[in-house]
């Protein structure tokens, strides 16, 4: 972000002459529909539609500012509204007792960071090395804890074309007055989102989010336990620092188990990759090679490599030894061995 673009105001003056405004900075540009801001008075019972209508957007080099004039306005609560496929829009709290503040020269007092969930994927360890790579999350459920409470629950879905979307649960429909989640199934009613908006900076402080993945929806009792037990929650979840920085793991490095916070990073740091396909991935010792192969040739190439190793095992050549790190995909090698066994059995039956 250039200094000039950061200092520019809606009236074309400096931050000092702009006056008090409520400013929320959303990182990135050209965001898809699905998220918006709603303003309530302090009891959250009355929507401030008149104030909402005065909001203006300002494009900066790396972000978009949402600006509301705040002269003589009392403190308000800001909620994040999420589009729904069924029922009313879903709302989650963002700012409590928000008030007008001066514009910052760099990042604003309140920042939203749109994210795409990723995970580190690796395969079989060979000679102490197990290279891991960042890939998009597979279908399942994402749990996001903020300020000790489950803030958003989303189902990760993938359509027939391999496009990933994120669908929210309306948590307030299942939350007791004490903050506990009711027992039973929680319906997934949110519209499919291409990105997930998360609080990154609140009241001038950069925050951490606790995030977890599950193959299936957690029961309410499990959520409640994690809400009450911060150390257990830290063990079960990844701590994500919402300050943008370089990835804490270099692509292809061996994974080291650590409880330190991982930071959010730009999606441009991700290697080009194909859509997740857990059923196919599970057949490979090195699933990341399948996911990072955009040509679609890895299956055929791994089969050729396994056949060559098997042939060299059947007819050893001192001048062409098989080295320890020549480890073919074992599923394919097992097929080669099975085929050879059947051939040997067939010869035995003939004799």
E strands within the chain? 21-27, 35-40, 56-59, 63-69, 76-82, 90-98, 110-115, 118-121, 133-136, 140-146, 149-158, 164-168, 196-202, 205-206, 208-214, 238-241, 262-263
- Surface-to-core class of residue 175, CB atoms within 10 Å of its CB (0-12 exposed, 13-18 middle, 19+ buried): middle
Lookup: tokens for 94: 């963002």
Please provide the CATH number assigned to the domain covering 3-108.
2.60.40
Listed residue (74, 73, 56) closest to 65, CA to CA: 56
Listed residue (269, 261, 268) closest to 239, CA to CA: 261
What is the pLDDT at residue 255?
Answer: 61
- What is the number of other CB atoms lying within 10 angstroms of the CB of residue 95? 21
What is the pLDDT at residue 122?
Answer: 79
What is the pLDDT at residue 153?
Answer: 99
| Secondary element (H or E) of residue 218 | none
CA distance 89 to 240: 27
| Secondary element (H or E) of residue 49 | helix 49-52
From the centroid of its chain, how far is CA 151?
Answer: 14
Those residues whose C-beta lies under 8 Å from the C-beta of residue 155, and which sit 6 or more positions away, are 139, 140, 141, 142, 166, 167, 169, 188, 217
Using an 8 Å Cβ cutoff, are 112 and 32 in contact? no
What is the pLDDT at residue 309?
Answer: 78
Mode of pairing for the β-strands spanning 110-115 and 21-27: parallel
CA distance 298 to 282: 14
Tens digit of each residue's pLDDT, the chain (351 residues): 333 444 444 444 445 445 689 999 999 999 999 999 999 998 988 999 999 999 999 999 999 999 999 888 899 999 999 999 999 999 999 999 999 989 998 899 999 999 999 988 877 766 667 678 889 999 999 999 999 999 999 999 999 888 999 999 999 999 999 999 999 999 999 999 999 999 999 999 999 999 999 999 999 999 999 999 999 999 999 999 999 887 766 665 666 555 666 888 888 888 899 999 888 888 888 888 889 999 888 888 888 887 777 777 777 777 777 666 667 777 877 887 777 788 777 776 666
What is the pLDDT at residue 7?
Answer: 40
What is the pLDDT at residue 55?
Answer: 94
CA dihedral 212, 216, 221, 224 (to 10 degrees): 20
Tabulate helix, strand, coil % of the chain (nearest 5).
25, 30, 45
What is the pLDDT at residue 314?
Answer: 74
Listed residue (132, 126, 118) closest to 256, CA to CA: 132
Listed residue (53, 52, 102, 109) closest to 76, CA to CA: 52
Listed residue (211, 282, 285, 279) closest to 242, CA to CA: 211
Lookup: tokens for 173: 């429909």
What is the pLDDT at residue 11?
Answer: 43
What is the pLDDT at residue 9?
Answer: 43
What is the pLDDT at residue 282?
Answer: 86
């Amino acid at each position: 972000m250039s200094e000039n673009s950061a200092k520019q105001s809606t009236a074309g003056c400096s931050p000092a002459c702009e006056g008090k405004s409520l400013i929320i900075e959303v990182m990135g540009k050209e965001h898809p529909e699905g998220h918006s801001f709603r303003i309530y008075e302090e009891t959250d019972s009355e929507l401030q539609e008149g104030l909402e209508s005065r909001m203006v957007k300002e494009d900066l080099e790396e972000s978009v500012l949402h600006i509301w004039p705040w002269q003589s306005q009392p403190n308000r609560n800001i909620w994040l509204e999420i589009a729904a496929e069924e029922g009313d829009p879903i709302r989650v709290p963002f700012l409590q007792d928000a008030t007008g503040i001066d514009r910052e020269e760099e990042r604003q007092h309140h920042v939203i960071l749109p994210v795409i969930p990723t995970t580190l994927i690796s395969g079989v360890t060979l000679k102490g090395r197990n290279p891991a790579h960042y890939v998009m999350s597979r279908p399942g459920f994402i749990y996001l804890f903020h300020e000790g409470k489950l803030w958003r629950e989303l189902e990760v879905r993938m359509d027939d074309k391999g496009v990933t979307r994120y669908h929210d649960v309306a948590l307030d429909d299942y939350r007791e007055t004490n903050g506990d989640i009711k027992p039973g199934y929680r319906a997934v009613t949110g519209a499919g989102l291409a990105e997930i908006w998360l609080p990154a900076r609140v009241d001038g402080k950069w925050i951490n989010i606790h995030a977890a993945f599950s193959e299936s929806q957690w029961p309410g009792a499990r959520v409640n336990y994690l809400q009450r037990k911060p150390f257990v929650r830290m063990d079960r979840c990844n701590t994500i620092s919402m300050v943008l920085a370089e990835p804490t793991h270099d692509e292809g490095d061996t994974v080291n188990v650590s409880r330190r916070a991982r930071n959010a990073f730009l999606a441009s740091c991700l290697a080009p990759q194909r859509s997740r396909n857990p059923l196919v991935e599970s057949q490979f010792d090195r699933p990341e090679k399948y996911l990072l192969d955009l040509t679609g040739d890895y299956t055929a190439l791994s089969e050729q490599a396994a056949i060559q190793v098997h042939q060299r095992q059947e007819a050893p050549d001192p001048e062409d030894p098989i080295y320890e790190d020549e480890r073919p995909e074992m599923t394919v090698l097992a097929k080669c061995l099975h085929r050879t066994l059947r051939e040997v059995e067939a010869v035995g039956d003939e004799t």
